[in-house]
Amino acid sequence: MSGEFSIIGKPTAMIDAAAKTTGAGKYTDDLRVPGMLIGKILHSPYPHARIRRIETSRAEKCEGVIAVVVGKDAPNPYGILPVGHDEYALALDKVRYVGDNVACVIAVSEAIAEKALELIDVDYEVLPAYFDPEESMKATKDLIHDSKPGNLEKDYHHVFGDPDKGFSEADHIAEARFIANEVTHAAMEPHSTLASFEIDPHTGKAGRLTVWSSTQVPYYLQHKLSLVLEMPMSQIRVIKPLVGGGFGGKSEVIPLEIIAAVAARKAQAAVKITYTREEVFWAHRGRPRTIIDLKTGIKQDGRITAVKARVVQDGGAYCSYGVVTILYSGALLGALYDIPNIQYDGYRVLTNKPACGAMRGHGTVNVRFAFESQLDELAAKIGMDPAEIRQHNLLKPPCITVNGLRVQSYGLPECIEKTVERSGWKQRKGKLLKGRGLGIACSHYVSGAANSIIRSDMPHSTVNIKIDRDGGVVVYTGASEIGQGSDTMTAQVAAEVLGCSLPRVRVIAADTDLTPIDIGSYSSRVTFMAGNATLRAATEVKKLIAAAAAKQMGCAVEDLIFRNDQVFKQNAAAASGAGLANESIRSKRDEASVSGRVEGQILRGSLQQKRKEEGPKDSLTFEEAVVAAIDFHGTLTGTGSYAPPQEARGGKHKGAGVGPSPAYSYSAQVAEVSVDEETGEVVVHKVWAAHDCGRALNPVSVEGQIIGSVWMGMGQALTEEMVWKDGMLMNPGLLEYRSPSSVESPEIEPIIVESIDPEGPFGAKECSEGSLAATIPAIANAIYDAVGVRLHESPFTPERVLAALRAKRNAKSLGLTEGVDPTAPARFREHGGSLCFKGKGPERHALDPSRNSAPAVPGRAD
């Protein structure tokens, strides 16, 4: 069997899988350096307060405490977006959410640091706080940030086409409010950072800084550290060890990363901080609670005439990625279906809660839930099959959408066809047992943003390749492996181009001293961008090898084929009957046995020399070709970079920078659910998920990403919800924040659709995020199909489903959802209970030093 490719397109085990599965792999918290200290952060107990005074002297006097860091130790602001530098390492004068960072104790052990936290006295002036974005927008005083009137981080108002005309042409219009409650990433690995300064040998002072951190964006971290610490970037080295999942929660600079570095500087020792799970929830940067007022018009034939969306995001206390999130929510109304007229009003609002940021499917997921639900309602209105109405609104690529997004490859039609076929949609829809139903929905996502958030024309990815006389291929990439398989993808692409075997390739990734710049693992950009950069670097090296090999083999460069660790003449391969068959080439190589013996001996060179002197050959082993190339060129390196083409960078309107991508992935899903009409419990039995990833470089990895997306989407659809009461997060742990367990995990049938993108590496696009957004509306639509209730508020918890069911059958209201109708939610619902004491809390605690005349001093008790 010979295919077009020898490495890509084959299910390939992750190259770092063994270390992870045996426990040998090192994550940041596994690291320690001599003399390392532990940092613990003091968090604000108030949602909004001015800091009058911080008194740290008692904590500093504790035995085992080396230093206490406060805001004024590093007063420079930072933030992931250039327009959002509103965060400080530690609060300067104000805290803005329960959990905000106030001080950090550096001590010889975690226990001592924790005890010393209790000895820091902070004098707060409590301010009125804002928890509901629509209330927050009305604020005139006690603003969360003085520079943001009306607590409005950013608002955008876009009109594309003529929405009014579109609605006037519509035969049916649906209009409703949807609410999607807040969710977080819940990555398995809590954030961890280890920071260590070297002593400058000339001055004896703190010199270069090395930071190991669980991050998706080592280069952004290097940049922000340089801003806060006032150090040149060249003096800061960021290393990303293994990362246990990111999902966006590590796609920006998280407070502990800055705090650890500031702490290491002050303590004059290496400092490690690892978040508790509760701190991970406070660091957050998840998907904001979102209010979507959506209006869609269609013609009787199912064609969409106009869409109008007003989106309000409850963004939390800092900007984070907020400006990008609110733009994605509007921009990606386009590029899935052909919508001629779009009006979008987006409001990113500040509230006194942890900052929301980027999370898998950034900005698109909640709006997609609303849109796909409403489309289903409209299909029902005109009596059209829900799959069919989607097929009536397809784009006709290549095209540019009304809001300026360029679409080239477009596998959505095939995705819909395949899911419909595999799920037995046509035969089974509407014919299932009572309480059981099918729902369909679609989604899409960018393969990397065409415009980087740092607004620079530099390449988004650069890759260097070095091959030495040992025949080993070393790929240096700044792309961050966070569990998604980026290192494996890089190795596969390099091996495919060079025609060498996978074990020959070593990937050195995400170390700012060693690897060329890459803007990070977010917005599903790595396969497309770092993949293209790898492809280009490998092609460049291959040219060098080919030139030398062709000379030695006495043929033209064009006649060479690189495959299976061999370089051979095209016609020779055909003549010998070996063709491209992997097996025969392998056995041929073994017979020649030169390569086998020569491996590891090429530095000695005698055998090489002998073979070289034998005259022109029909084939060379990879090592021979490499040695020939190094002898010829002196060194064998190549470099490649990728910057999105100008045509893909979108329109000119304000905010046009977010949404454009060189390519979009597409997804269609059918969910089969059953609903218990007496309890409101929803069981997802199966999800058929088709995803257009351009080309599956590693099919097993693509399937894993589709399954993971569906599973994560199901969590947001059914069980996951951050529950608030006046700024207190009621469920800051994995017991009460309920990600699905293996028991609820449905059968997921991933279906790979390959549209072969003209610009992707070997035609590949993204596969990690696009599938998530379809799952939530697919389940919502399936619930409707099963029991006839249309939920407009996620997650579809049993209380919400039952409330809707009871309302439908006109049963007596039991107040199951405390007055918020899940089929027409008007406002956010907070957790019940009381915080009427307001601000009396801390003084009551037994450990509070002010209660005891002679407080226990930690570390001195015998």
Partner 1 sequence: MSLPEFRLLRPRSIEDAVRCLSEHLGKDGLSLRMLAGGTDLIPSMRQKLFEPEYVLDLRGIVAMRGIRPQGDGGVEIGALTTLRAIERSDFLRQHYAVLTEAAATVASPVLRNMGTIGGNICLDTRCLWYNQSLTWRKGCGFCIKKDGDLCHVAPGGTKCWAVFSGDTPPALLCLDAEIEIASANGVRRVPLNDFYTGLGDNYRKLQPNELVTRIFLPASTAGYRGVYRKLRVRGSIDYPLAGVAVAMKSYDGHVADARIAVTAVNPAPLLVKGAGELLMGKPLDEALAEAVGDLAAKTAKPLTTSALTPEYRREMIRVFAKRAVLAAAAN
Q: How far is CA 274 from CA 38, 39, 41, 284, 633, in A?
A: 9, 8, 10, 15, 48
* Smallest separation (angstroms) from partner 1 to the CB of 301: 42
Q: Which of residues 227-246 bind partner 1 (CB under 8 A)?
A: none
d(CA 489, CA 699): 11
Q: Which stretch binds partner 1 (CB under 8 A): 64-72, 75-83, 426-434, 734-742?
A: 734-742
Q: Is 821 in the site for partner 1 (CB under 8 A)?
A: no
Which residue, 426 or 685, has its beta carbon nearer to partner 1? 685
Q: Which of residues 625-684 bind partner 1 (CB under 8 A)?
A: 678-680
* Smallest separation (angstroms) from partner 1 to the CB of 44: 8
Q: Is 108 in the site for partner 1 (CB under 8 A)?
A: no
Which residue, 263 or 389, has its beta carbon nearer to partner 1? 263
Q: Which stretch binds partner 1 (CB under 8 A): 217-225, 490-498, 684-692, 796-804?
A: 796-804
Q: Is 812 in the site for partner 1 (CB under 8 A)?
A: no
Count the alpha carbons within 13 Å of 686 in the hemisphere toward its beta carbon: 10
* Smallest separation (angstroms) from partner 1 to the CB of 111: 4
Q: 557: which DSSP letter?
A: G
Question: 70 and 262 in contact (C-beta within 8 Å)?
Answer: no
* Smallest separation (angstroms) from partner 1 to the CB of 378: 31
Q: Is 810 in the site for partner 1 (CB under 8 A)?
A: no
Which residue, 161 or 859, has its beta carbon nearer to partner 1? 859
* Smallest separation (angstroms) from partner 1 to the CB of 797: 7
Name, in order, each residue with C-beta under 8 angstroms of 53's C-beta and a sequence gap of 6 or more: 121, 122, 123
Q: Is 173 in the site for partner 1 (CB under 8 A)?
A: no
Neighbour order of strands in the sheet with 37-43:
65-70, 101-107, 37-43, 271-274, 192-199, 206-213, 236-239
Beta pairing class for 206-213 and 236-239: parallel
d(CA 532, CA 764): 9
Q: How far is CA 576 from CA 4, 259, 393, 585, 588, in A?
A: 19, 65, 53, 10, 10
Which residue, 45 or 330, has its beta carbon nearer to partner 1? 45
Which residue, 420 or 802, has its beta carbon nearer to partner 1? 802
* Smallest separation (angstroms) from partner 1 to the CB of 323: 29
From 134, 135, 385, 744, residue interacting with partner 1 (rule: CB under 8 A): 744
Tokens, residue 277: 């799970």
Which residues is 462 bridged to in the sheet? Answer: 641
Which residue, 157 or 845, has its beta carbon nearer to partner 1? 845
Residue among 278, 657, 640, 636 nearest 446 (CA): 657
Q: Which stretch binds partner 1 (CB under 8 A): 359-367, 532-540, 611-619, 723-731?
A: 723-731
What does the DSSP assignment read for 127-177? -----SHHHHTT--SS-SSTTSGGGEEEEEEEEES-HHHHHHH-SEEEEEE
Which residue, 129 or 333, has its beta carbon nearer to partner 1? 129
**Cβ count within 10 A of residue 610:** 10
- In degrees and rounded to multiples of 5, residue 422 shows phi and psi of -70, -30
* Smallest separation (angstroms) from partner 1 to the CB of 71: 18
Which residue, 300 or 813, has its beta carbon nearer to partner 1? 813
For the chain, give the longest Cα–Cα distance.
95
From 332, 802, 804, 805, residue interacting with partner 1 (rule: CB under 8 A): 802
**Cβ count within 10 A of residue 383:** 7
Q: 614: which DSSP letter?
A: T
Name the residue type at position 680.
Answer: G
Q: Which of residues 759-788 bind partner 1 (CB under 8 A)?
A: none
* Smallest separation (angstroms) from partner 1 to the CB of 851: 10
- Cα 749 off chain centre by: 23
Q: Which stretch binds partner 1 (CB under 8 A): 287-295, 394-402, 763-771, 795-803?
A: 795-803
The 3-class secondary structure across 758-783, one letter per residue, is CCCHHHCCCCCCCCHHHHHHHHHHHH
d(CA 415, CA 395): 14
Count the alpha carbons within 13 Å of 495 in the hemisphere toward its beta carbon: 27
Site string for partner 1, 822-861 (x = CB under 8 A): ---------xxxxxxx-xxxx-xxxx--------------
Q: Which of residues 248-287 bind partner 1 (CB under 8 A)?
A: 276, 278
Which residue, 682 or 782, has its beta carbon nearer to partner 1? 682
* Smallest separation (angstroms) from partner 1 to the CB of 714: 12
Q: Is 491 in the site for partner 1 (CB under 8 A)?
A: no
Q: Is 128 in the site for partner 1 (CB under 8 A)?
A: no
Site string for partner 1, 42-61 (x = CB under 8 A): -x-xx---------------
Q: Is 731 in the site for partner 1 (CB under 8 A)?
A: yes
Residues that bind partner 1 (CB under 8 A): 43, 45-46, 98, 109-111, 114, 276, 278, 678-680, 719, 723, 728, 730-732, 735-736, 738, 740-744, 797-799, 802, 814-818, 831-837, 839-842, 844-847
